[in-house]
Structure 1
Amino acid sequence: MRRRTFALSAAASALAGLHPHAFAQGQWPERPVKLILSQPAGSGPDILARYLGEQLSRSWKQPVVIDNKPGGQNVIGAQAAARSPADGYTFYYATTAAMVTNVYTFKSLPYDPAKDFVPVRLVGRSPFLLAARADFPARTLAEVLAKAKAAPGSVSVATEGPKTFSGMLADSVAELGGVKFNHVPYTKATDAMQDVIGGRIDLVCLPDAALSAYVKGGQVRALATSTAQRLAEMPTVPSLSETFAGFEYTGWNGLFAPAGTPADVVARVNRDVEALLRQPEVVQRLQALGSIAEPKMSVAEFDAFMRAERERWSRLVQTLRIQAE
């Protein structure tokens, strides 16, 4: 009897050794789950992550803790997430900049987006807007491009910087339109808006979430959206693809896990997030926060999406002749 008991114990120990997370995952989550962010509290991604965390907390019956680690153009937060335990209790709520564009704008990074993380779930896409000050004489994108072509450098555009999403979008529009804008970078979107509303800058290129209130208030006039189709909330505003066929330029936000995180936990989080993103009230809330919900995307599909994004941005960076620093 003792020999049989010993044999069963040895077999159980061997199984546990082969699958160290097998038993623990059956009850996942048994404790709070952490979402690391590269942005400060109160920022757009932070507001989105907190809303998502609240919904998941109700589903999981466990707190979802938001851990803000801003700075270094997403490097600080991404590095912290990459070095976190791969135990299924820490995830990285990331934006396109951290997981894709930083690879092409930094000569070296202390983390590798492709190797240090596994994709979990795309949450939503973030459209951008190109808008003009209310009294700018050019009323359409075609008129803006004609004005810029007639007098190169005369049309100014405010962005968050030439190597940011908004900056690269403005430069892409100029490149495709065969014109040269006077690119004016700002560290704060609020400062950019003050100068546009005050008539010192002609155009502004920022995320829809940052500009929509000014558009609705009549302080700026939307010229185009960066999405392939027009936005539901702005049906009269053309998409850039209507001027430049096939053009689409959106940021996105999604969940990633440190490499080595148990695959069944990754699959569980993917399913739970997808269930949320199929709820109309969640979709509406995300839209109000400037994010278009992605209703269906498996882990494998998200992985393929990430590979395509890296290829797409590699081509765009080459087209815009952006040098890594």
Structure 2
Amino acid sequence: MRALKSLFAAALVLAAATASAQPVKIRFAYVVPVANWPSILFEKQGLARHLGKSYTYEAVRFQGTPPMITGLANNEIEIADLAFASFAIAVENAGMKDLRVIADEFQDGTPGYYTDEYFVLKDSPIKTVKDLKGKILATNAAGSAVDIVMRAMLRKNGIDDRKDVNVVEAAFPNMKAMLTSKKADVIPAVIPFSFDPDLRAASRVLFTQKDVVGGRTQMIIWAARESFLKKNRAAMVDFMEDSIRAVHWWLDPKNHKEAVEIAARVSKRPAAAFDKWLFVKAGQEGDYYRDPNLLPDLKALQANIDLQQKLGLLKGKVDVSKLNDLSIVKEAAKRVK
């Protein structure tokens, strides 16, 4: 009997050891191919040294960031590429108090870098934001960052976003068609769709995100639940190390040609669609700002979320200083030479 108990105990220890040795599953949600890191992060072979050892990786595409909140709540994803607006909604309105900011994706409106644009048709009678009253506005998802910014601009100009306009949803790749077919009077266009030459030829910019915010927006952050981070800290440090190494490679100008080729392959679009702007600092003709060590601007993030609360879109105040864990990305950065 003792022998059987000892054998059973040994089997349990072995099973536990085997389980702990299994790589941690990391499913990372994103919206826009190429423009969002998760879609291309490890497409350059050899950069992810810990992949398949301490963790596995899968990029999962969503239409917008708000649906990622449900994905996190249902344990369908481990990390979400959340807009500042969706992060705040998840914490305050959806009650996910254990959600943590863990890294930067990109920042909008940083001096010398791109800021999102809102387009109307070139021959549209809409000349100012005040002319949008009674019009149809497109958004990718209610509560997304571009949606919040658009609503903020309306309210700044005395337009009630709930009563004075009609808002319809469309995926970013379909925005051009929404505008040119006159199913929407104004559309938000994010990189890379804003650089579509046909869109540029048919439209003009009504306003930019920087016009609304007045400065930098911590547009997208990486977010994960605290329980997952605590349970899998070692694997997450490995993942962040690989991510920072990959980001350094992508941002290095000497790798631009190969980066563009990979982007073209991943997106199934011509390389010319990426060559002039991808990871390039060139104002409105270049890319967003991306921190090379994946460090978010928490001061900007707080200001962005405060704007959201001011618009009445949050139940209460969200204190970013209590909702971040940058220790993992900072530890990982020390490993990368």
Deviation at 1:52, TM superposition (A): 0.5
Q: Distance in 2 between matches of 1:222 and 1:308?
A: 24
Deviation at 1:130, TM superposition (A): 0.9
Q: Distance in 2 between matches of 1:98 and 1:317?
A: 10
Q: Distance in 1 between matches of 2:199 and 2:177?
A: 16
TM-score norm. by structure 1 comes to 0.60
**Contact map agreement 1:38 1:78 (CA 8 A) in 2:** no
Secondary structure of 2:105's aligned partner: strand
Q: Distance in 2 between matches of 1:211 and 1:220?
A: 11
Task: Choose which of 318, 322, 325 in structure 1 pairs with 2:313.
Answer: 322
**Contact map agreement 1:69 1:77 (CA 8 A) in 2:** no
Q: Which residue of 2 aligns with 1:11?
A: none
Q: Which residue of 1 aligns with 2:247?
A: 277
2:149 is the alignment partner of 1:169: yes
With over 3 angstroms needed to count, the CA separation of the structure-2 counterparts of 1:215 and 1:292, relative to structure 1, is: farther
Deviation at 1:197, TM superposition (A): 0.6
With over 3 angstroms needed to count, the CA separation of the structure-2 counterparts of 1:255 and 1:159, relative to structure 1, is: closer
Q: Distance in 1 between matches of 2:28 and 2:239?
A: 17
Identity of matched residues, %: 10
Q: Distance in 2 between matches of 1:314 and 1:245?
A: 11
What is the number of equivalent residue pairs in this alignment?
255
Task: Choose which of 180, 194, 212 in structure 2 pairs with 1:211.
Answer: 194
Q: Distance in 1 between matches of 2:193 and 2:231?
A: 34
Deviation at 1:147, TM superposition (A): 3.9
Aligned residue type for 1:322: L
Q: Which residue of 1 aligns with 2:140?
A: 160
Q: Which residue of 2 aligns with 1:123?
A: 105
Greater Cα offset, 261-270 or 48-57: 261-270
Q: Distance in 2 between matches of 1:224 and 1:193?
A: 16
Deviation at 1:200, TM superposition (A): 4.4
Deviation at 1:320, TM superposition (A): 1.8
Q: Which has the larger radius of gyration?
A: 1
Q: Distance in 2 between matches of 1:265 and 1:39?
A: 20
Q: For structure 1, list consecutive stretches of 5 or more residues without a partner in the other structure.
A: 1-19, 85-90, 228-239
Q: After superposition, what is the alpha-carbon deviation per residue over 1:163-199, rounded to whole angstroms, capped at 9, x for unaligned?
A: 2322211111122233456242224345543231123
**Contact map agreement 1:33 1:62 (CA 8 A) in 2:** no
Deviation at 1:46, TM superposition (A): 9.4
Deviation at 1:133, TM superposition (A): 1.3
Q: Distance in 1 between matches of 2:220 and 2:49?
A: 25
Secondary structure of 1:288's aligned partner: coil
Q: After superposition, what is the alpha-carbon deviation per residue over 1:192-239, rounded to whole angstroms, capped at 9, x for unaligned?
A: 432311234321124333333156651322344324xxxxxxxxxxxx
Map 1:4-23 to 2 at 5 A. none
Secondary structure of 2:154's aligned partner: helix
TM-score norm. by structure 2 comes to 0.58
With over 3 angstroms needed to count, the CA separation of the structure-2 counterparts of 1:210 and 1:33, relative to structure 1, is: farther
Q: Distance in 2 between matches of 1:255 and 1:68?
A: 14
Q: Which residue of 2 aligns with 1:295?
A: 292
**Contact map agreement 2:30 2:59 (CA 8 A) in 1:** no
Q: Distance in 2 between matches of 1:116 and 1:154?
A: 38
Q: Which residue of 2 aligns with 1:75?
A: 69
Q: Distance in 2 between matches of 1:200 and 1:194?
A: 8
Deviation at 1:49, TM superposition (A): 1.1
Q: Which residue of 2 aligns with 1:14?
A: none
Q: Which residue of 1 aligns with 2:81?
A: 94
